[in-house]
Structure 1
Amino acid sequence: MDVVLEISDAYVFDNVYAKLFPVPEKVTTLLKTNIASLEFLSDLSKNLSLPYIPVKPYEYTVIPAPEAAYLTTVPRTNIFRQSLSLFLLTWFFGIILYYLFASLSYFLIFDKRTMNHPKYLKNQIRMEMQQAMSAMPFMSALTVPWFLLECHGYGKLYWHASDHSKAYLFWQYPLFIAFTDFSIYLIHRGLHHPLVYKHLHKPHHKWIVPTPFASHAFHPVDGYLQSLPYHWFGFIFPLHKLSYLILFSFINIWTILIHDGEYMTSNPLINGAACHTLHHLYFNYNYGQFTTLWDRIGSSYRIPDASLFDHDKKMSKSTWKNQSAEMEKIVKEVEADDDRTYLNENESVEAKKEK
């Protein structure tokens, strides 16, 4: 996130903070008179540029600091400014990724016949969006301390490829998947403990038949807890900064894909949309994020029925009836009372369209 923050400061935040918290006019005149001096700029930049940039700012930063960087009383090194900027960046890009890829999945992949399922909720997509939007600012705020630590060099993120072998540039990806898959399995299964579930994880299980917009519809603490392994990895294992950004984006996209109801693979190792659909239907199975390995080891794996990979059979009323009957038995064990409001099974498809 240090590179993202550096770029954002230069293009956005330097100007914003200079307008909101400007230096006195006399100081502005002095700075503008001397700012062309590289020696003066170098000395001043040491106090403004983030300390993890290990070179002279005016020569090697991602982009040169604009004039506005020196015209604010809240310099780049101010931890409150860094925290606010990181919070806004996390929140903003979280919303962009969510709406962009969830919308693409909804319009291009998601089978709209799913909305005829007897366990599809009234106004479901609207409620999924509302839950996601209400959770994102809190999840972003909780994430800021991790980004601050990463930015200030306390993790093992690195920029220069020569810092580690070329082979590791490849192996860091499967290592990341393996580590986070195991960690999230433990956290996710823990969130299903009766003492925890009703307080934190139940809001995400409101969606028995999820749409892509359910992907980020969490209680904020639930969503934050399941994101922790992504941060832990960079403090335990080396991780290239560009790879970190790629994996951060991939995680968000993957989360959407496993909620889209399109069962693209029946590979027994991959915990894809079919496995995760069963998790939403039957609660106590398929806790994994990427693979089925830990579910198999933990005796929580449920193999998706072959009928789920048939586009017609998986949408048949007989399939839905069987799913609903089993779900109703399990929901009594997990939640006791089912307080969801379902669409009337006899409503027309047109009446079910979200407004």
Structure 2
Amino acid sequence: MAAADHNPFVNETSFYNQMVLSHLLPASLWEPLPHFLQTWLRNYLAANMLYFISGFLWCFYIYYVKLNVYVPKESIPTRKTMIKHISVAMKAMPWQSLLPTVTEYMVEHGWTLCYSTVDHFNWFLCFLYIALYLALVEFGVYFIHKELHDNKFLYKHLHATHHIYNKQKTISPFSGYAFHPLDGIIQSLPHVISLFIVPIHLRSHLILLFLEGLWTANIHDYIHGDIWPVMGAGYHTVHHKTYKHNYGHYTIYMDWMFGSLKAPLAEEEDNFKEK
């Protein structure tokens, strides 16, 4: 404990564990656990909360509040389909929660370039490093995602689990995490690798992971926001239909540079004609 008291990263992650677990579970269930297992349990429960809250709220908004505005009634996925999405995601969630847990372990042991405080820090460099971090994530996700398609073994045994959802009535905000567990981990690796290349505040990293969760639900809602250069749901829907375009993450830049970009406008018109 004495060593932990002088480790700002352990203190910070312990605070997050306490904040989440104390509100969700009796102390007798989690306090006796080692710090690593507490962190995994916190990540697992937090990921589930983010998945269900964002999924239910977004589905309620686009399928009920804005019915026939974004998605025609006849194109809304059935409850059975969305329950299938949830079932696949729930099988993957315990394993996918291991990656951020292992990442925090590496941060706590000083193996990454993460820093724990912004006191006396150059704010220009702080934001510059965040921009570089996001650029590395964009680069890494593109090539990993593309390889998951190009490599027949990886596609068949990993990524095909997600790509059975390829039509409007089979895609919903809940399908965003309907991955093979190892597929989800592999596609998240750029977030981890970037910590060894770019200095970044630990809290900034965790916030970006939270936003990643929201983004994953958003790009599976079938709504084309048409906000250049964002790789929104319209572009990602094209990816689910063609299997060979729009591998990018947040932006269209990587697909534009490597010739795999396909605009969603024509595809979007076809979607609303589907019965």
Interval containing the TM-score (normalised by the shorter chain)? 0.7 to 0.9
User: Aligned residues, how many?
Assistant: 255
Give the aligned partner of residue 4 of structure 1.
13
Give the aligned partner of residue 255 of structure 1.
216
Q: Distance in 2 between matches of 1:18 and 1:253?
A: 29
Q: Aligned in 2, Cα 1:135/1:307: closer, same or farther, shift over 3 Å?
A: closer
Question: TM-score normalised to the size of structure 1?
Answer: 0.65
What SS is found at the alignment partner of 2:158?
helix
Gaps of 5+ in 2: 1-8
After TM superposition, the structure 1 = structure 2 runs for residues 204-353 of structure 1, keeping only pairs within 5 Å, are 204-208=162-166, 209=168, 210-267=171-228, 269-305=229-265, 308=268, 313=269, 316-317=272-273, 320=274
Q: Does 1:129 align with 2:86?
A: yes
Q: Which runs of 4+ in 1 moved over 6 A?
A: none
Letter in 1 for 2:47: G
Pairing partner for 1:191 from 148, 153, 165: 148
Q: Aligned in 2, Cα 1:315/1:228: closer, same or farther, shift over 3 Å?
A: closer
After TM superposition, the structure 1 = structure 2 runs for residues 47-58 of structure 1, keeping only pairs within 5 Å, are none
Give the aligned partner of residue 97 of structure 2.
140
Q: Distance in 2 between matches of 1:273 and 1:104?
A: 17
Q: Does 1:85 align with 2:42?
A: no
1:164 positional shift: 3.7
Write out per-residue CA displacement over residues 24-59 of structure 1, whole angstroms, 9 at most, x where no aligned residue: xxxxxxxxxxxxxxxxxxxxxxxxxxxxxxxxxxxx
Q: Does 1:99 align with 2:52?
A: yes
Q: Distance in 1 between matches of 2:236 and 2:46?
A: 25
Letter in 2 for 1:294: M
Q: Distance in 2 between matches of 1:94 and 1:246?
A: 13
Do the aligned residues in 1 keep the contact of 2:238 with 2:267 (CA within 8 Å)? Answer: no
Deviates more, 1:144-153 or 1:284-293: 144-153
Q: Distance in 2 between matches of 1:288 and 1:11?
A: 32
Do the aligned residues in 2 keep the contact of 1:138 with 1:220 (CA within 8 Å)? Answer: yes
Q: Distance in 2 between matches of 1:199 and 1:131?
A: 15
What SS is found at the alignment partner of 2:177?
coil
1:123 positional shift: 2.1
Q: Distance in 1 between matches of 2:46 and 2:73?
A: 29
Q: Aligned in 2, Cα 1:255/1:17: closer, same or farther, shift over 3 Å?
A: closer
Do the aligned residues in 2 keep the contact of 1:258 with 1:273 (CA within 8 Å)? Answer: yes
Give the aligned partner of residue 175 of structure 1.
132
Pairing partner for 1:159 from 101, 112, 116: 116
What SS is found at the alignment partner of 2:194?
helix
Q: Distance in 2 between matches of 1:175 and 1:259?
A: 26
Deviates more, 1:192-201 or 1:107-116: 107-116
Letter in 1 for 2:117: H
Gaps of 5+ in 1: 22-68, 75-80, 321-344, 346-355
Write out per-residue CA displacement over residues 46-88 of structure 1, whole angstroms, 9 at most, x where no aligned residue: xxxxxxxxxxxxxxxxxxxxxxx8xx7x7xxxxxx12211211
Do the aligned residues in 2 keep the contact of 1:143 with 1:224 (CA within 8 Å)? Answer: no
Do the aligned residues in 2 keep the contact of 1:121 with 1:207 (CA within 8 Å)? Answer: no
Do the aligned residues in 1 keep the contact of 2:163 with 2:240 (CA within 8 Å)? Answer: yes
Which structure: larger Rg? 1
Write out per-residue CA displacement over residues 290-349 of structure 1, whole angstroms, 9 at most, x where no aligned residue: 1111112222111112573xxxx45542xx3xxxxxxxxxxxxxxxxxxxxxxxx5xxxx
Q: Distance in 1 between matches of 2:20 and 2:215?
A: 30
1:155 positional shift: 1.1
Question: TM-score normalised to the size of structure 2?
Answer: 0.82
Write out per-residue CA displacement over residues 266-287 of structure 1, whole angstroms, 9 at most, x where no aligned residue: 42x2211110010111111100
1:144 positional shift: 2.7
1:207 positional shift: 0.9
